[in-house]
Amino acid sequence: MNSWQDEVEDKYDAFLLDPGMGPMTYLTSDGRVLEDLRGWDGDEIVEVGGLHAHSALIAGARKTGIVELLELIPQPPPGSSVCSTCDGKRIAEPAPGFGIELPCNECDARGWIDAG
Ligand SMILES: [Zn+2]
């Protein structure tokens, strides 16, 4: 695992955001989120967006304390509305009483919903 981490960090100028439960997830110096699917459900490194990327940034900010990571999540455009599922917090319980807050599926963990 460690050699994969070194390889990705060197090759993509990236750092490990989330060693978590899923694929190892990295943030590159130019703001892209990469998932290393090796040892998971594939054999390649892919760039991800949307819920995957935002979830990784949220997890990374929690683990590292670098709150600036959250600034990479798109800001609400004019006319958008606050997500009613997570109340703009980007994380929510999947069901009332679940006990754990997960990245919000409803808004792709952005905290806002497009108008219309
Ligand atoms: Zn939401």
> How many Å lie between the centroid of ligand 1 and the Cα of residue 63?
21
> How many Å lie between the centroid of ligand 1 and the Cα of residue 21?
21
Q: Indicate the SS3 state at residue 112.
A: strand
* Token representation of residue 25: 């997830």
> How many Å lie between the centroid of ligand 1 and the Cα of residue 49?
16
- Domain count along the chain: 2
Segments forming the whole domain that contains residue 20: 2-72
pLDDT at 116: 63
114 with 92, same domain? Answer: yes
> How many Å lie between the centroid of ligand 1 and the Cα of residue 86?
4
24 with 67, same domain? Answer: yes
Mean pLDDT to the nearest integer, 32-57:
92
- Alpha-carbon distance of 77 to 30, in angstroms, equals 22
pLDDT at 18: 82
67 with 17, same domain? Answer: yes
89 with 65, same domain? Answer: no
63 with 82, same domain? Answer: no
The answer to whether the beta carbons of residues 45 and 7 sit under 8 Å apart is no
The answer to whether the beta carbons of residues 33 and 49 sit under 8 Å apart is yes
pLDDT at 8: 95
65 with 112, same domain? Answer: no
> How many Å lie between the centroid of ligand 1 and the Cα of residue 9?
31
pLDDT band at 23 (very low <50, low <70, confident <90, very high): confident
Q: Measured at the alpha carbon of residue 47, what is the angle toward residues 51 and 70, in degrees to the nearest 5?
A: 45
Sign of the CA dihedral with 99 first, then 81, 28, and 4 last: positive
pLDDT at 94: 87
Q: From residue 62, how far is each of 4, 57, 59, 103, 113 by CA, in Å?
A: 23, 9, 5, 12, 23
> How many Å lie between the centroid of ligand 1 and the Cα of residue 104?
5
